Amino acid sequence: MPLKVYQYPKCGTCKKALKWLDEHNIAYESIHIVENPPSKQELASLIEKSGLPTKKFFNTSGKKYRELGLKDKIKEATDNEMVEWLASDGMLIKRPIVTDGEQVTVGFREELFGQTWK
């Protein structure tokens, strides 16, 4: 199965990640995270497989995150509430999310991509 890359075309980090995948001849399916955000079930599965805490899936530098005051709300929120928020708006999700159905990476760090996707 080719990798699925949830990304936003205007995102600089996403562009770097896609360029890295292209340079390493790694096939992927690009999914526009705002037009086709992952469902609650998909998000829950991605979070579980990533091994990361749910709060690591938030785009904390995004305008929407600040507008909704999530920095304060997130401290008291349950995982279920956080997944609800993430599923409600693709702009809240840290990107890119890359998965092969088993492994998941969030964001782009060249070292991590090299370890995970080569």
Q: What is the CATH number of the domain that holds 75?
A: 3.40.30.10
Q: Is the pLDDT of residue 96 over 80?
A: yes
Nearest Cα to 14, choosing from 114, 113, 115, 82?
A: 113
Note down the domain range covering 30.
3-117
Q: Is the pLDDT of residue 39 over 80?
A: yes
- The whole-number average pLDDT for the span 36-60 is 97
For the chain, the domain total comes to: 1
Please list the alpha-helical segments (H only) found in 24-105.
40-50, 63-67, 70-73, 79-88
- The whole-number average pLDDT for the span 84-103 is 97
pLDDT at residue 15 in the model: 98
φ, ψ at 36 (rounded to 5°): -135, 65
Residue positions counted in the chain: 118
pLDDT in tens, 71-92: 999 999 999 999 999 999 999 9
pLDDT at residue 8 in the model: 97
* Percent of all residues in the chain with a pLDDT value above 90, rounded to a whole number: 97
Beta-sheet strand order (sheet of 3-7): 28-32, 3-7, 97-99, 104-106
